[in-house]
């Protein structure tokens, strides 16, 4: 997409918009769309590696995930930069204004897996949701996910107020930012090549927050696919994602050891929530 001048009309999501002045890059964070990887990429662009990041007391479940803590990220968000820089970042034809988007089916499954199945600490633990379903000690991922999506649709206003479950078109403020690049997660490699050229050094960010490696297609059935399409209608419509035939999902049931390991993950995430909360109270 050729660079064009943009307009300075951003009024929302400012704390999700990062400004890498040296590279003239504005990145709009879309949760569950390679955002951890992109946050690390920006840190690398700013010359900060994982060893140099300050400690975060937030409820992030892993060290790499603390990159989400805006208070320690080396690249400022747009609400923290000067009015002149903000204006330049939003309007200059020399700036790259980027967002990464993800197939809505895969993104919804990923959000459920990382937030709900793993019991990650966060406000969603208090949202209405069905229990995880196990059969003979084996977690039935597909049935649990499908039950969740049905409940999510019933309580859409609650769930989609959270950016992990919100439509991407809203999270990226599609109507308020003149993007130069909207890149699907499948094209991240090409984006990194271009960003490397832009900063004059190779950028090889690790992948983060990868999950269990399950195929999202197997977690869907036809009814769940239709619900996803209804809840994320704008993403399909405005970002160009195609509806898929997901009626032949083979189902997903974890083995006994895998189920038990996931239960241990849940235990650890709850403990992380406890420790983080206590630490923040003291701070």
Q: Residue 121 interacts with other proteins (CB under 8 A)?
A: no
Q: Residue 49 interacts with other proteins (CB under 8 A)?
A: no
Stretch touching other proteins by CB under 8 A, among 90-98, 148-156, 191-199, 268-276: 268-276
Stretch touching other proteins by CB under 8 A, among 15-23, 58-66, 172-180, 230-238: 58-66
Q: Residue 62 interacts with other proteins (CB under 8 A)?
A: yes
Of 183-212, binders to other proteins (CB under 8 A) are 210-212
- Judge residue 6's burial from the number of C-beta atoms within 10 Å of its C-beta, 0-12 exposed, 13-18 middle, 19 or more buried: buried
Number of residues engaging other proteins in binding (CB under 8 A): 36
Q: Residue 255 interacts with other proteins (CB under 8 A)?
A: yes
Each residue 127-166 as x (binds other proteins by CB under 8 A) or -, in order, gives ----------x-----------------------------
Residue 53 or 182: which CB sits closer to other proteins? Answer: 53
Q: Residue 262 interacts with other proteins (CB under 8 A)?
A: yes
Residue 64 or 249: which CB sits closer to other proteins? Answer: 64
Q: Residue 269 interacts with other proteins (CB under 8 A)?
A: yes
Residue 185 or 276: which CB sits closer to other proteins? Answer: 276
Tell me the closest approach of the beta carbon of residue 43 to other proteins, in angstroms.
Answer: 18
Q: Residue 256 interacts with other proteins (CB under 8 A)?
A: yes
Residue 147 or 265: which CB sits closer to other proteins? Answer: 265
Q: Residue 87 interacts with other proteins (CB under 8 A)?
A: no
Tell me the closest approach of the beta carbon of residue 222 to other proteins, in angstroms.
Answer: 25
Q: Residues 181, 96: contact at Cβ < 8 Å?
A: yes
Q: Residue 52 interacts with other proteins (CB under 8 A)?
A: no
Q: Residue 213 interacts with other proteins (CB under 8 A)?
A: yes
Question: Which one of 94, 126, 131, 282 is in contact with other proteins (CB under 8 A)?
Answer: 282
Write a three-state SS string for the chain. Answer: CCCCCCCCCCCCCHHHEEEEHHHCEEEECCCCCCHHHHHHHHHHHCCCCHHHCCCCCCCCCCCHHHHHCCCCCCCCEHHHCCHHHHHHHHHCCCCEEEEEECCHHHHHHHHHHHHHHCCCCCHHHHCCCCCCCEECCEEEHHHHHHHHHHHHHHCHHHHCCCCCCCCHHHHCCCCCCCCCEEEEHHHHHHHHHHHHHHHCCCCCCCCCCCCCCCCHHHHCCHHHHHHHHHHCHHHHHHHCCCCCCCCCCCCCECCHHHHHHHHHHHHHHHHHHHHHHHHHHHC
Question: Which one of 57, 113, 178, 229 is in contact with other proteins (CB under 8 A)?
Answer: 57
- Judge residue 24's burial from the number of C-beta atoms within 10 Å of its C-beta, 0-12 exposed, 13-18 middle, 19 or more buried: middle
- What separation in angstroms does the CA of 76 have from each of 31, 43, 81, 223? 17, 10, 7, 42
Q: Which residues of the shown chain bind other proteins in the complex (CB under 8 A)?
A: 55, 57, 60-64, 118, 137, 210-214, 254-258, 260-262, 264-265, 267-272, 274-276, 278-279, 282
């Amino acid at each position: 997409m050729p660079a064009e001048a943009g307009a300075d009309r951003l009024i929302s999501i400012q704390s999700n918009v990062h400004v890498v002045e040296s590279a003239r890059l504005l990145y709009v964070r879309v949760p569950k769309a390679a955002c951890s990887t992109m946050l690390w990429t920006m840190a690398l662009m700013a010359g900060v590696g994982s060893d140099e990041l300050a400690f975060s007391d937030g409820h992030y479940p892993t060290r790499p995930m603390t990159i989400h803590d805006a208070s320690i990220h080396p690249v400022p968000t747009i609400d923290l930069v000067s009015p002149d820089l903000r204006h330049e970042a939003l309007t200059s034809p020399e700036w790259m204004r980027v967002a990464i988007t993800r197939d809505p089916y895969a993104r919804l499954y990923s959000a459920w897996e990382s937030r709900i199945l793993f019991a990650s600490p966060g406000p969603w633990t208090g949202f209405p949701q069905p229990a995880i379903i196990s059969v003979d000690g084996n977690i039935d991922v597909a049935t649990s996910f499908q039950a969740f999506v049905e409940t999510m649709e019933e309580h859409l206003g609650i769930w989609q107020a959270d950016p992990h479950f919100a439509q991407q078109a809203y999270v990226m403020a599609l109507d308020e930012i003149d993007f130069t690049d909207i890149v699907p997660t499948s094209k991240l490699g090409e984006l990194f090549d271009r960003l490397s050229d832009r900063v004059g050094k190779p950028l090889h960010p690790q992948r983060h927050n990868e999950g269990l490696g399950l195929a999202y297609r197997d977690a869907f059935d036809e009814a769940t696919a239709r619900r996803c399409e209804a809840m994320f209608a704008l993403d399909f419509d405005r970002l160009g994602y195609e509806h898929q035939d997901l009626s032949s999902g083979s189902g997903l049931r974890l083995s006994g050891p895998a189920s038990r390991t996931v239960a241990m993950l849940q235990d650890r995430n709850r403990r992380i929530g406890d420790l983080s909360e206590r630490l923040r109270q003291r701070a």
